[in-house]
Structure 1
């Protein structure tokens, strides 16, 4: 893979990451509730899950997810139910209070949410299979495959880290946090609507 091909791969990954969806809502919510550190950890966890799909693709396992109706359906249902859980949690939230040192340092919830919202999205498998088919040569050495898998995760994580940094910037953070209860409700409605759409399509 030459530099031009790598730049093309990275650009497509960036465009995919920039598409609005539940991932962006989860990262922003983590940043508002737990501060910059929580937002960044959610973003990096999302990038790790995306990179894991890259690894599954180069090893051929993502093809199983993308081509097996049963496996794909199970992932869709699990992902939809998890989005409903996140949505209900947001709707029931009382909003983000002032940050404490413990809240700012406790990143476990942000890490889990960031990882699962990506990993339980089987459309990532389809995206990766289609993307890698354009760039991955059958005879490609393992290091080239590793670079490709790392690229998709790094680009994804970097984009969502940028979003977390923007949301947690003092210029925006205080105002957003003051309205966090309303923002939580909006995110809750969006996540539940997306979940119902996913489940409806999966079970139709």
Structure 2
């Protein structure tokens, strides 16, 4: 994978991780309710779930590309439509949507469970990866290249949510994010719509 292509992957993974949604709300909830340790645990286990989905997607895409290119095109177009829908939803999101946090009981074990289940139980995540990774996976891609994709998605997700947990555990970042959530949603919506167009036309 060329450095330019990897930087594109890095940017898209970062924007995907930073977009407000149930994963961000879950990490915030455990950090606000239980402190730094539960927040970090939730972030790391969520990243493991993301890495698992990324790995399964890369393997699946490689197989589809090699043996069923027509099916790959159908899945890609379906993913493009879904990305476009997510983009429109993000643009229409109101102020603070996806960032409302309720203070509830928390602990490391509960945070570990929630982090993994929020990632694995989110059907949007696997569809997003199918649409996303179709731009970076090829049938002749090396094993190292595929692992680089999986590692990038995992580390970016884990890095972002660990950073969120660390900041929220000793700062006033949460109110700042809540005040600017509408702009985060708008940026995410524009990026998703652009990615959807690229997938559909590619």
- TM-score (normalizing by structure 2): 0.63
Give the equivalent residue in structure 1 for 2:136.
Answer: 135
Give the equivalent residue in structure 1 for 2:118.
Answer: 117
Give the equivalent residue in structure 2 for 1:151.
Answer: 152
Q: Partners in 1 of 2:61 and 2:40 — Cα distance?
A: 29
Contact 2:61 2:137 in 1 (8 A): no
Per mean C-alpha deviation after superposition, the further-off stretch among 32-41 and 53-62 is 53-62
Q: Partners in 2 of 1:39 and 1:61 — Cα distance?
A: 33
Q: Partners in 2 of 1:123 and 1:153 — Cα distance?
A: 16
Give the equivalent residue in structure 1 for 2:24.
Answer: 24
1:172 CA displacement? 3.6
- Cα deviations across residues 132-174 of structure 1 (Å, max 9, x unaligned)? 11111110111110110111011011111111111101x349x
- Cα deviations across residues 15-61 of structure 1 (Å, max 9, x unaligned)? 11111011111101111222111101101111111111110111118
Q: Partners in 2 of 1:2 and 1:41 — Cα distance?
A: 33
Change (3 A) 1:16 1:43: same
Q: Partners in 2 of 1:112 and 1:142 — Cα distance?
A: 30
Which structure 1 segments of 5+ residues have no match? 68-89, 97-102, 177-204
Q: Partners in 2 of 1:165 and 1:43 — Cα distance?
A: 10
Contact 2:51 2:154 in 1 (8 A): yes
1:24-103 map, 5 Å: 24-60=24-60
Q: Partners in 1 of 2:139 and 2:6 — Cα distance?
A: 17
- TM-score (normalizing by structure 1): 0.62
Give the 3-state SS of the residue equivalent to 1:134 in structure 2.
coil
- Cα deviations across residues 103-153 of structure 1 (Å, max 9, x unaligned)? 7xx511101101111111111111111111111111011111011011101
RMSD: 2.8
Q: Partners in 2 of 1:54 and 1:25 — Cα distance?
A: 21
